[in-house]
Amino acid sequence: MEEQRGVRQWFRLDNAAKLYPAISSVQWTSMFRLSFVMMEAVSPQRLEEAVNQVLPRFPAFRVRLRKGLFWYYLEENSDRFRVTEDAGHPCAPLGQGENSGYLFRVKYGVRRISLEMFHALADGTGGLVFLKCIVAQYLRLQGTPVPCEEGVLDPRCPPNPEELEDAYRKIPLDGVHASRREEAAYQMPGTPDPPHTLRLILAQMSVAEVKARASVYGATITEYLTAVMVFTLWQSQQRGHWQRRLPVKVSVPVNMRKFIPTRTVRNFAFYLNVGIDPKLGTYTFEETVQLIHHAMRYGMNPKFLFAGIATNVASERNILIRLCPLPVKNFVLSFVYHRVGERLFTTTLTNVGAVRLPSVMAEQIERAEMMLGASSSYRSNCAAISLRDKLCLTFTRDIAETDFERNMLRFLIREGIPVRVSSNQE
Amino acid sequence: MSYCVHCGVELAPSEARCPLCQTPVVDPAAPYDPTLPREFPIRSREQRLEINPWTTLALAAVLLSVPALICLLIDLLANGRLVWSLYPIGAFGMIFLGILPPVTLRKNVFFWTVAADVGALCLYLWLVQSLSGGEWFQTVVFPVLLLLGIMLVAMASSIRQGMLKGLGIPAMGLLLICVVTLAVDLLITATLTAQVRITWSAFVMIPCGIISAMLWLVHRNRALRSELKRKLHL
Ligand SMILES: [Zn+2]
């Protein structure tokens, strides 16, 4: 954070965030959405009041995006924030000048409070802290005294500078020289939807039942769900006739706060691509779970992850890249990302994990939902989040076909896990 | 609560069809109630109108009419009357008619595209004939184009309905080439010599016909197919 007296505060984008404005366009922006479904109807006025009371505590989100000569930057935004009605398809790209330039939306449904965020501001963990604070403050305005515990920050305290840091800069990079070169992955076929379309399917299941089934294979919930995904994708790849036998890989975001303690609410995640290679023969589901289990255990070591981040940080610090004017950077970054980056995995599984809430607050919330915005390369992605015993898997896609969702959910049902679905189909 | 009879998933009461497989909800005890609130908002009006085919068409019309007008003006200014400009103008019109169905339609796109392309091409060639004289359009070009269009549509629809598959597709494709060549030959010869006679098309039809028949035989005969596989496997 850099500051000057009497001048608007401004922030550099963090390492991961530098990518997102560069690759965004009117048609597509990297967004994600976190929601709490409340027990009772939501009052829009109180919600707007709550957001505006909480915002000063989060200077990193109280910003608009500006262009510098070399990089984008975030500039303090003191306009009043307006909540909007949850209508139409979610996670639409942020329009120019929409919402006084704020890079997130807070939407109210009948009982749902949703936070749609531009990925340049924060990752899922950071967004969840923000949403928890908004909803806690909303409940306080409704008359429920919510204590500031379980990750709910006190809106009356001044912001902690540690919450605003670019945690990527804390990663020790001495002597790291590895670059992670990866093979392109299998891409699911599908008929592309027009821009601003996001079809979603929400699948609810019981945490205990999924956990019990996962433990039969000695895997965690994330490992198990990833394995189901990889296995069913591999099966449908085998049914296709003209598909090259490219590896089926799922990109699993890893919360780096596990390895480097930080209080940052901005981006601090990295990705691990795990999967199976059809060129090595056929797989049983047991084999797939074992492979994914070990690949994730191996991949989740700081050395391996830091090496991946080191490449990004090194290129960010490279003086030649830094001196490149912004439009050139945008062109190169968006070309590389859409042609190479998005092709390295078949789909994404983001697991935000179990939401911890103060008990008085948890009583007022039926479930939590997490979804990813459309991906630029026409496919279906999945995000998971759980509250108490309710695990919500949200599939979002910008293609017409539902083969991926259908195969995965049918597999879970055959495994003995009941699934309840709802959608935004017409 | 209802379950999808096909997938086994429990369906939210707001779903009329299973979102996974589109099977309608069949539950006599709890029939679908369209007045129930939806769990998620559906597409908004703006999102539905996102890609407006008429905008694309208007854009195409403008893009094509600008060069057409320029041609018209140059022709008029240079010659004082229309000499050659109707040829390019007709061509632009043909292009516009050809893109009409793929842009506007969502269903039966192939059929209407072929129909429109054949129709547009016929109109244009008829225009060329009426400007330059001759009888070649109604005697040769029109019947051939009509035949080609009908056969393409028939073949595409039988492929889509699964009646034609595997080696049957190249076999039928070759047969189509035979028929069209024969038609061209017969019509040209008939116009020029007033005799119904096969001339040069035999050189195309004989090899195509033989290969097509072989492919069809192999396609129909399971034993032969497996025998060939055994003998020729790589
Ligand atoms: Zn179904």
Q: What is the pLDDT of residues B36-73, one digit of tens each?
A: 888 898 887 766 655 567 778 888 889 999 999 999 99
A410 CB neighbours in chain B (<8 A) are 7-9, 20
Flag whether residue B165 sits within 8 Å of chain A, measured between CB atoms.
no
Flag whether residue B140 sits within 8 Å of chain A, measured between CB atoms.
no
A423/B19 CB distance under 8 A: yes
Substitution target in B15, B40, B42, B48 with the highest count of A β-carbons within 10 Å is B40
Nearest CA in chain B to A195: B50
A226 vs A297: CA distance, rounded Å:
13
Tens digit of pLDDT per residue, chain A (426 long)? 444 445 778 888 887 788 777 777 766 778 999 999 999 999 999 999 999 999 999 999 999 888 888 888 888 998 999 999 998 899 988 877 788 899 999 999 999 999 999 988 999 999 999 999 999 999 999 999 999 988 899 999 899 888 888 888 888 877 776 666 778 899 888 888 887 889 999 999 999 999 999 999 999 999 999 999 999 999 989 887 556 688 999 999 999 998 989 999 998 988 889 999 998 989 999 999 999 999 999 988 888 888 878 877 777 777 887 888 888 888 887 777 777 777 889 999 999 999 999 999 999 999 999 999 988 788 999 999 999 999 999 999 999 999 999 999 999 999 999 999 999 988
The arrangement of strands across the sheet holding A31-38 comes to: A84-85, A104-108, A112-118, A31-38, A365-372
Q: What is the Å distance from ligand 1's center to A297 Cα?
A: 35
Q: What's the pLDDT score for residue A241?
A: 59
Flag whether residue B34 sits within 8 Å of chain A, measured between CB atoms.
no
Considering only CB atoms, which residues of chain A are within 8 Å of chain B? 86-90, 92, 109-110, 194-197, 200-203, 402, 405-406, 409-410, 413, 418-426
Nearest CA in chain A to B6: A410
Q: What is the Å distance from ligand 1's center to B47 Cα?
A: 26
B8/A413 CB distance under 8 A: yes
User: A72 pairs with which residues across the strands?
Assistant: A67
Size of interface A-B (CB pairs under 8 A): 92
SS3 assignment, position A158: coil
A421/B10 CB distance under 8 A: yes
Which residue of B42, B46, B51 is in closest CB contact with A424? Answer: B42
Domain spanning A6-159 has what CATH number?
3.30.559.10
- Strand residue runs (E) in A207-336: 248-255, 269-276
Flag whether residue B42 sits within 8 Å of chain A, measured between CB atoms.
yes
A334 vs A332: CA distance, rounded Å:
6
- Strand residue runs (E) in A156-197: none
3-state SS string for chain B: CEECCCCCCEECCCCCECCCCCCECCCCCCCCCCCCCCCCCCCCHHHHCCCCHHHHHHHHHHHHHHHHHHHHHHHHHHHCCCCCCHHHHHHHHHHHHHHHHHHHCCCCHHHHHHHHHHHHHHHHHHHHHHHHCCCHHHHHHHHHHHHHHHHHHHHHHHHHCCCCCCCHHHHHHHHHHHHHHHHHHHHHHHHHHCCCCCCCHHHHHHHHHHHHHHHHHHHHCHHHHHHHHHHHCC
Cα A331 off chain centre by: 24
Q: What's the pLDDT score for residue A27?
A: 67
How near does any CA of chain A get to the CA of B93, in Å? 28
Under a CB-based contact definition with an 8 Å cutoff, are residues B39 and A420 in contact?
Answer: no
The two three-digit tokens of residue A213, written as one number: 């089934």
SS3 assignment, position A421: strand
Q: What is the Å distance from ligand 1's center to A383 Cα?
A: 21
Neighbours of B23 (CB within 10 A): 13
Substitution target in B18, B20, B106 with the highest count of A β-carbons within 10 Å is B20
A265 vs A284: CA distance, rounded Å:
40
Q: What's the pLDDT score for residue A172?
A: 80
A196 CB neighbours in chain B (<8 A) are 46-47, 50
Flag whether residue B14 sits within 8 Å of chain A, measured between CB atoms.
yes
For residue B126, which amino acid is it? W
Q: What is the Å distance from ligand 1's center to A64 Cα?
A: 43
B8 CB neighbours in chain A (<8 A) are 410, 413
Half-sphere exposure of A359 (CA within 13 A, CB side): 0
Same fold, A6-159 and A199-423: yes
Q: What is the Å distance from ligand 1's center to B134 Cα?
A: 62
- Strand residue runs (E) in A39-172: 63-67, 72-76, 84-85, 104-108, 112-118
B72 vs B49: CA distance, rounded Å:
36
Q: What's the pLDDT score for residue A4?
A: 46
The DSSP line for A394-414 is: EEEESBS--HHHHHHHHHHHH
Q: Which of A111, A113, A107 is nearest to A87 (CA)?
A: A107
Q: What is the Å distance from ligand 1's center to B11 Cα?
A: 9
B18 vs A397: CA distance, rounded Å:
16
Q: What's the pLDDT score for residue B47?
A: 64
How near does any CA of chain B get to the CA of A408, in Å? 10
pTM of the predicted model over 0.95: no
State the DSSP H helix or E strand holding residue A229, giving kind and residue range, or none if neither. helix A221-239
How near does any CA of chain B get to the CA of A75, in Å? 30
Substitution target in B1, B9, B32 with the highest count of A β-carbons within 10 Å is B9
A86/B41 CB distance under 8 A: yes
How near does any CA of chain B get to the CA of A357, in Å? 24
Under a CB-based contact definition with an 8 Å cutoff, are residues A253 and A270 in contact?
Answer: yes
Under a CB-based contact definition with an 8 Å cutoff, are residues A325 and A228 in contact?
Answer: no
Q: What's the pLDDT score for residue A2?
A: 44
The two three-digit tokens of residue B131, written as one number: 């400007």
Q: What's the pLDDT score for residue A296?
A: 93
Q: What is the Å distance from ligand 1's center to A234 Cα?
A: 21
Domain extents in chain A: 6-159, 199-423
Flag whether residue B213 sits within 8 Å of chain A, measured between CB atoms.
no
A246 vs A182: CA distance, rounded Å:
12
Flag whether residue B21 sits within 8 Å of chain A, measured between CB atoms.
yes
Kindly tell me the sign of the dihedral angle through the C-alpha atoms of A135, A137, A141, A142.
Answer: positive
Residue written as token pair 């500078």? A161
Q: What's the pLDDT score for residue A420?
A: 95
Q: What is the Å distance from ligand 1's center to A426 Cα?
A: 16
A194 CB neighbours in chain B (<8 A) are 50-51
How near does any CA of chain A get to the CA of B97, in Å? 24
Flag whether residue B9 sits within 8 Å of chain A, measured between CB atoms.
yes
Domain spanning A199-423 has what CATH number?
3.30.559.30
Q: B154-167 pLDDT, tens per residue?
A: 888 888 777 787 78
B42/A409 CB distance under 8 A: no
